[in-house]
Structure 1
Amino acid sequence: MDKLVVIDRMEDPLSMLLTPMTYEGLLDALVGVNHGVVTYEKDEEDAEDEEESGKCRKSSSASSAKDERGAATTQQKVVLNHMDSLYDEIRDVNFNLLISNQLVDIATDLATEVRGSSVGSSVDMPKDSQAAFQKVKALLAKAPHLVKKKRSLAHHLQLVQRIRELSTQLALRGCVETEMTIMSAGKSASSAAAKDVDRFLEEAILRDPPLNLYDVVKLLCLCSLVRGGLKPETLTWYRQQLCHTYGHQILPLLVQLEKLDLLSVENRFDFPRKRKQLVLMCGVLDDEDTRDPKDIHFMFPYTGYAPMSVRLLQDSLGMKFKALAKDPTSSMLSLGSGSGSNSDSRHSMAASTSEMPSVPGQRLDNSAATGGGRRSNVLVYYVGGVTVAELTAIRFLNQRQSEFTFFVAATSVCNGSRLLRAIY
């Protein structure tokens, strides 16, 4: 490794509290991914059909159970990593685009490929025995690939359906819209937008049944960080209502959040200054804008937020990003065909000056870049955990520039709910 960058998780708490709208981000936030493994339930009849077809897969396993209706179901475990080529293709895609276009296209292509193989095996078979043998051999070699892709597609269709069900149950739309309002309202607590946020939170706590505790607390922490703290009377009121609704046993959680400076009267986060200095917000993005992203805002299209820890990384390495963030048409990066593209930039990012070091300590010296066009290897270590959105952003940087190759290590893969569960 040529460089090491260590980032404290609390340098960027916002990335934990916002909801990424990519497929992988929603899987992690709603379904739950545990050490790269996701579990979902499917009808046992479907599982038996797969077993009878003789198709087994190393990356998934099943165990029988019964759902609430008493119907037989199978608990399916699926490993999510780069070995699943379909997952590697769709993990960073906006969820709305995935369900409206991409999965349909993938299923259509697979069906065409399967039909092409079956037609070729029966109609286009050469009469020459040696040629026929080679043709059959080629078809047999292709069959495992098609079977694996079909099974992978079936798993991801089930997971997409599960995300859609959970997003309705957990009032995902309301939470995401509130996140957008909080980020756009900024520091002002007296604006109309801020009052809308307070009304939503009040209703979420007092309604029957109340919103999930972790979702409410995440929104409160987001308010506190963006506004620079909550008014003393406001914070006291929220604490009282939370205890009335969820029970006094949550008091240790509230105390710990105050110690962490996540939910307090005032904090040292200073979001307005960092927002301007690191160009953290670019405005709301349409779903189509995320198809061919130009910068690292695309994980949070409804807030236009760029993960601050990745901005700090870019700034510490002298990577130019400010002009690109302000003008998406800038050619500062060599852009490919989308977040899944493997195209590399032909233009090296020159070191840029900045007003302040973004990571504690001195700015990393980028003037001694290795010669011969070789990329500098940079190990980024997250102390306290890395989020799915940050991993997506770093994959994007690896694909869109040619000066650095980033490797990520972390104590864990985290999100806001996991943090609160660890504290509570």
Structure 2
Amino acid sequence: MDLVNQYLRGLLSGREDGTFHRSLYLWMVPRGSLLCERRLQEHGVFDNFAAIAELPLLLFKMEPDLVSMEMPSAFREWSVHGDPCGVHLSARALMMLQGLYGLIPIIRGKGPNVTALYNMMVELRREMAHNEPQIPSKIDQLILIDRSIDLLTPLTTQLTYEGLIDQCFGIKNCVVKLPSSRLHQSGGSDGADVMLDQQQSAPVKPVLLTSADLLYQELRDANFSSVGPKLAAQAKQITKDFDERHLAKTVVEMKQFVQKLPRIQQAKQNLALHTSLAEALQEEVSAGLFGPALQVEQELLRGSIDCDKPSPFIEECLGRSAPLFTVLRLMCLQSVINNGLKTKVLEYYKREVVQTYGYEHMLTLDNLNKAGLLTAQLSKSNYATIRKTLRLIVDDVNELNPTDIAYVHSGYAPLSVRLARYVHSPGWRAITELLSMLPGPTLSETQQPNRHKRSDSTSATGDDAGPVVLIFFIGGCTYSEVAAFRFLSAKSHENGGPEYILATTSLVNSNNFLHSLSTDLLPQHTSHP
């Protein structure tokens, strides 16, 4: 609101009478706030608006099977500050989806916020009274997953192509911004090089990453180790397609080739782009602490490191003043796996962070404690039992031709995905004891429309397809989890299993997840006369 005030003051500054003769409207996204209106009144600009309203843009389509609320601070709001606004907005978003696709008959969930979210949905439905859209349900089941039940996955390194791009460069609204120098090093064709060279005047080039790029659609969910062979195969196919011009002897054959030429040229440009991206990623994973940190991470997940003692690698990183989030990520990973750190180890880690990186990170350490990421151990860890029951670790995973979702982390299967899969086979009743080890209540509810029965043909993909399941992440979802669910959906087409579509409050990686919880103690600047 302070920025709105500054903007209006700028508009009014050039007016002699101090008034603005155009109608001004203020839209608050995604919801209005009385505090914001009060702030405008304090600035004395509230009466300049003809109207102030809210614009409930709650969900943004990322892909046909993925929508996001784009609320990166949601997890911090309720885990650190206890603010339920994010849960309320999530309930409104789910009610909006039900208004479009019908009432979801079965709801399952696990975590501290799922009961509150469901109760808010019930209250919103009650407020609608008899105004519910009477349409057949196209979604068979809703599974609510609170991020708090699986804090491991956002702390682990994503090893899919899309996940690694997000991990190293950050994807925001399906766009990654890269230095133009990175994209200049292209192994593609001359035409593709020209396309990329046109962007060299700008220091940073935005690159759109969506399924509209067919090559990216093929690469995004693949393990990064298989990207090179896939790019090589694509290059051979483009060369083969382009060489068909030599086989065209008649006018008709020439015309057919000319019609295919734009598609071939676009494929060459996409190949050049992703070759450059792959080279940039290879530089990232080959340099610095990426490899050693990944190895320690894998050992922690496999239970090969004694979590009751300080990690020698973390101590080495502290001594070398490694990037703070790399150090915090490994500390949090050790703490979550061990259900907290021994008091001496925790205090030692905190003291070293403050002495190495500065006192301004004390609030960040406190936030990580409140969020359950870096805590003192109060009870024995159940991780070994959870790991064994859900098969979180898969040895000898096939990264080129995967047969298990563990390929997304080269051996670690996301706990959240395993848990969601267990809803259908063998069912959560078979793992009741394990569910009790995870934080928060277990939700199992059914909904029935007021006047019309749910349609027997509920699948959005046809009568012969399996059930459609909506997975909603409260607190963020990683691209590795998205890839894992897509892998399960692809397998389901073969055996009639469920098809998964995903919704989340935001898309996260270890860097922006920890950044959302960070708070710096900035020095207060005093003005001197």
TM-score range, shorter chain: 0.7 to 0.9
Distance 1:159 1:139, change over 3 A: same
Equivalent-residue separation in structure 1 for 2:465 and 2:395 (angstroms): 35
Residue in structure 2 matching 1:22, options 160, 163, 168: 160
Any gaps of 5 or more consecutive residues in structure 1? Answer: 66-73, 127-131, 321-350
Q: Which runs of 5+ in 2 are unaligned?
A: 1-138, 447-453, 458-462, 519-529
Contact 1:188/1:227 (8 A) holds in 2: no
> How far, CA to CA, are the matches of 2:238 and 2:205 in structure 1?
23
Letter in 2 for 1:115: D
Determine the C-alpha separation between the residues in 1 that align with 2:155 and 2:192.
44
Could you give the per-residue CA deviations for residues 79-113 of structure 1, whole angstroms, max 9, x where no partner exists?
Answer: 111111101111122212322x2222221221222
Q: Which residue of the partner structure matches residue 421 of structure 1?
A: 515
Alpha-carbon contact 1:187-1:227 (below 8 Å) kept: no
Match of 1:125 in 2: 249
C-alpha distance in structure 1 between counterparts of 2:220 and 2:201, whole Å: 28
- The within-5 A match list for 1:164-313 is 164-185=282-303, 188-189=306-307, 198-207=311-320, 210-266=321-377, 270-285=382-397, 289-301=398-410, 304-313=411-420
Q: Please state how far the C-alpha of 1:362 moved relative to its aligned partner.
A: 4.2
TM-fit CA distance, 1:188: 4.2
Measured in 2, the distance between the counterparts of 1:252 and 1:136 equals 68
- What whole-Å deviation, never above 9, does each CA across 1:121-143 have from its counterpart, x for those lacking one? xxx322xxxxx1x3333222201
Q: CA deviation at 1:279?
A: 2.0
1:314 paired to 2:460:
no
1:280, 1:305 within 8 Å by CA — same for their partners in 2? Answer: yes
Instruction: Verify: 1:391 aligned to 2:482, yes or no.
Output: yes
**TM score, norm. by length of structure 2:** 0.62
Identity, % of aligned positions = 27
Q: How many residues of Structure 1 are paired with residues of Structure 2 in the alignment?
A: 358
Structure 1 residues 91 and 125 mapped into 2: Cα distance closer, same or farther (>3 Å)?
A: same
Residue 171 of structure 2 is matched in structure 1 by: 33
How far apart are the structure 2 equivalents of 1:81 and 1:60? Answer: 22
1:7-35 CA deviation, whole Å, 9 max, x = no partner?
A: 11111111101112221121110122111
Deviation at 1:239, TM superposition (A): 0.8
Please give the secondary structure, in 2, of the residue aligned with 1:406. strand
Counterpart CA distance in 2 for 1:146 and 1:135 is 16
Of 278, 303, 307, the residue aligned with 1:160 is 278
How far 1:186 sits from its partner (Å)?
5.9
2:184–2:276 CA contact under 8 A, matched in 1: no
C-alpha distance in structure 1 between counterparts of 2:350 and 2:270, whole Å: 46
In 2, the alpha carbon distance for the partners of 1:44 and 1:166 equals 11
Q: Report the equivalent of 1:407.
A: 501
Look up the SS of the partner of 1:175 in the other structure: helix
* Partner Cα separation in structure 2 for residue 408 and residue 46 of structure 1: 35
Return the alpha-carbon distance in structure 2 between the equivalents of residues 156 and 54 of structure 1: 11
Q: Could you tell me how far 1:56 is from its partner in structure 2? A: 9.8
Q: Secondary structure of 2:409's match?
A: coil
Give the alignment's Cα RMSD to 1 decimal. Answer: 3.2
Q: Distance in 2 between matches of 1:27 and 1:46?
A: 17
Any conservation in 1 of the 2:182–2:276 contact (CA below 8 Å)? no
Alpha-carbon distance, 1:45 to partner: 11
Aligned twin of 2:263: 145
| Structure 2 Cα separation of the partners of residues 55 and 247 of structure 1 | 45
CA apart distance, 1:388: 0.6
Alpha-carbon spacing, 1:202–1:378, altered in 2? closer, same or farther (3 Å)? same
**Structure 2 residue matching 1:39: 3-state secondary structure:** strand
Q: In the TM superposition, what is the alpha-carbon distance from 1:168 to its structure 2 partner?
A: 3.2
C-alpha contact 1:381 1:408 (8 A) present in aligned 2: yes
Amino acid in structure 2 at the alignment position of 1:291? L
1:187 positional shift: 8.0
1:44 positional shift: 11
Please state how far the C-alpha of 1:144 moved relative to its aligned partner.
1.0
User: Structure 1 residue 43: deviation in Å?
Assistant: 4.7
Match of 1:2 among 134, 140, 155: 140
Q: Secondary structure at the match of 1:412?
A: coil
Structure possessing the higher radius of gyration over alpha carbons:
2
Q: Does structure 2 retain, via aligned residues, the 8 Å contact 1:370–1:376?
A: no
